Structure 1
Amino acid sequence: MEQQLKRGIIPVLLCVLLCGTGLLDTANAANRIRVATIGERAPTLDKSAGYQKMVQQMIAFWKQQLDQVIHDKPDLIVVPENADFPWGLTRAEKDEYIKVRRNQVLDFFASVAKSTGSYLVYSMNRYDEKGLLRNTGVLLGRNGETVGMYDKNYPTIKEMEAGIRPGTRVPIFDCDFGKLAIAICYDLNFDELREQYAALDPDVIVFPSAYHGGFVQSVWAYTCRAFFVGAISGRGAHSQVRNPLGEVVASSTNYFNYAVADINLDYRIVHLDYHRGKLKDLKKKYGSTVQIKDPGELGVLLVTSENESIGIAEMLKEFGIETVDDYFKRSQLVKKQNEL
């Protein structure tokens, strides 16, 4: 009887101790991940060697490119749109290439994800189960499994004339670090898609693309309250990581076509109104374990917990600090109450 009690009590005590220190509550800890983006256009390959040789050359090309970032041990790697598709093929040649390629490049990227323990996102042309041609963003998991696929919702007119069909689903993918969304190239221009994603509250948006999009990347990051990782194949365009304020925190350069950044997903955006004193008290208590970033001019701040046991949601609740979206909703409610 005594031994049975010990067997029952010890696990309970362990659970209490672990929970008390926050070790079992991953939501109550700084959520740091390392992201890598590579901005390189897939090469033009010699068609005379045959399609299988082209597939092998494509795999060798990306092996070389990925070798630039895998030694940093990223949690997430993003490469550009149509990463496994050589340039300069006619529509008929593209179809033949897809038939020969099958899943060979997918399997290669999956092997990289598995060997490095990283999530990996790339875009490819494929025929779906209904035989429809899609421009698809693929999310591979840390074990090389296919976590999910996103079919580009807004292909260009030229793409659709070439047979690519638009997707209609707007999925959010659950990763071990948070929620991830995919937008591809021309998608960036459409507010409807951005607003759908904003409502789904992603932590990270990845953007494999052939064009940069300029300040619109920052619009997406800020309005979706998400980190934004762009991998751009366009010549001379930088591949960049943006924080939820839309600020660039890492970028490729004219010398290096990749960027690596450490980001912390335990953050919230708050408004300055009613919060100046509370934020001062927050900083006074938690010191260097809370970061408060002011971009200037916006009237909002990015507040991030670097504390290993107390998450940002708990910190804000302790001092009665509401998020910017809650504040905006309250403003709308007060406006309605004061309308004639």
Structure 2
Amino acid sequence: MPTRSNTAQNALNRRQVLSAVGMTAGAAALTNTASAFAASVEEDTKYSVRVAAVSYSMPFHDHRSQGVNLQPLREMTAKVAHEKPDFVCYPEICTCGGGGFQKGIAAAPELGPYVEEVAKIAREFDTAIIAPLIERSGDRVFNSVPIVDRKGNLVLNYRKNYPTTGEMEEGITPGDGVPVAECDGVRVGAAVCFDANFDHVAAELERQRARLVFWPSMYWGGQLLQHWALRYGFSIAVAYGAESAIIDMSGRYLHQRGNESLKVRQSLMPPWAVADVVVNRELFHIDYNQHKFPALLEKYGPDVEIELFEPEGYFILASRRPGLTVEQIAEEFELETNRDYLARSVAMRNDRLTLS
């Protein structure tokens, strides 16, 4: 593994994980109906999802004049499907950039026909698909990231807010807006490559409560993304040709692997990173919350996990109990999320400024 992975791990070893054994309720008297209901609730409040970020881009195809053809992407997805992922993410413009940027722009498809083909792959392999493209819309083209759920529905389409100067000179139009939506029980969003330099994008994802963000790219992202994950409270799937990665909400790398990884070059491992990502959790500030830890642990014991980041003043609370969301715990104990705490601080500051 690259040394920066070890460095990131060591940098975050200051955290502490608090857990305690508490009382758990018996379930012997559950009826079949109640069991079915509990199973439904458990499905709706997933503890974790399995995410694959794949270092693969298609050979060139003229989607505009010859019709959308994603057969190579389907073949790669068939291989990744052995991992049984809930989400599969591919790199930036992975289906349009094989012949270079100019050819990709000339051959760019419209979103509708493209999503129809992605939807077929999603349904066939029962997984959400994130297959970025160069999108044609009228006389404009965008660097876009459509997220299609396992049933083939378009959940959202993110258009790169901050293309590079080179992209814009080639004709790419900047996107406007950072959508977040529910996909298979998880609030998801996206950002692309150069966007990592602009915290405005991350702040919008945070404001809309994204828990899992897909970041297709043409470079690693590194510590910029580790900062995004912990500061803004979401996990990130990095899809890049050289090396893909899964970054936890804590800023830790859960897995890194891609075409430039040694074992991939030796044909011993496949070119993707895959990990189980905990999504039933939330980022909080220690202020005004930490005195509630004892009561919280007394009630829920091993059904919750509190991960402390004392130097940063943060903690991450996770619910491990099926059917119990972290939002329910936060409401019960009147815990204020980091997002809401900072927003309240800004609002109070602005009020004070108007009085001075």
Q: TM-score, normalised by structure 1?
A: 0.77
Tell me the equivalent position of 2:166.
Answer: 158
Pairing 1:315–2:324 present:
no
Pairing 1:39–2:48 present:
no
**Shift of residue 317 of structure 1?**
3.5
Tell me the equivalent position of 2:29.
Answer: none
Tell me the equivalent position of 1:194.
Answer: 202
Code of the residue aligned with 1:39 in structure 2: it is: S
Tell me the equivalent position of 2:178.
Answer: 170
Q: Please tell me whether Structure 1 or Structure 2 has the larger radius of gyration of its CA atoms.
A: 1
Q: 1:305 aligns with which of 304, 319, 326?
A: 319
Q: 2:94 aligns with which of 75, 83, 92?
A: 83
**Shift of residue 41 of structure 1?**
4.4
Q: Deviations over 1:197-217 (max 9, x none)?
A: 322221211111111222111
Give the whole-Å Cα distance in 2 for the aligned partners of 1:85 and 1:132: 15
Code of the residue aligned with 1:110 in structure 2: it is: A
Cα distance, 1:327–1:145 mapped onto 2, change above 3 Å: closer
Report percent identity of matched pairs: 25
**Shift of residue 103 of structure 1?**
7.7
Flag structure 2 segments of 5+ consecutive residues without an equivalent.
Answer: 1-32, 264-269
Residue correspondences, number: 312
Give the whole-Å Cα distance in 2 for the aligned partners of 1:297 and 1:251: 26
Q: 1:225 aligns with which of 228, 233, 245?
A: 233
CA contact (8 A) 2:44 2:185 kept: no
Tell me the equivalent position of 1:261.
Answer: 275
Q: Deviations over 1:278-316 (max 9, x none)?
A: 323322332221122234522221110010132222323
Q: Deviations over 1:218-274 (max 9, x none)?
A: 2222233212111112x3xx3222222222223226124212222232212223345
**Shift of residue 85 of structure 1?**
2.4
Tell me the equivalent position of 1:73.
Answer: 84
Pairing 1:282–2:296 present:
yes
CA contact (8 A) 1:30 1:306 kept: no
Q: Deviations over 1:146-183 (max 9, x none)?
A: 33322211111111111111121322223231321111
Cα distance, 1:180–1:30 mapped onto 2, change above 3 Å: closer
Tell me the equivalent position of 1:132.
Answer: 140
RMSD of equivalent CA atoms: 3.6
Q: Aligned with 2:335: secondary structure?
A: coil
Pairing 1:248–2:253 present:
yes
Q: 1:59 aligns with which of 45, 50, 71?
A: 71
Cα distance, 1:207–1:126 mapped onto 2, change above 3 Å: same
Pairing 1:292–2:306 present:
yes
Code of the residue aligned with 1:72 in structure 2: it is: E
Tell me the equivalent position of 2:267.
Answer: none
CA contact (8 A) 1:201 1:224 kept: no
Give the whole-Å Cα distance in 2 for the aligned partners of 1:42 and 1:271: 43
Give the whole-Å Cα distance in 2 for the aligned partners of 1:207 and 1:52: 29
CA contact (8 A) 2:60 2:95 kept: no
CA contact (8 A) 1:18 1:24 kept: no
Q: Aligned with 2:222: secondary structure?
A: coil
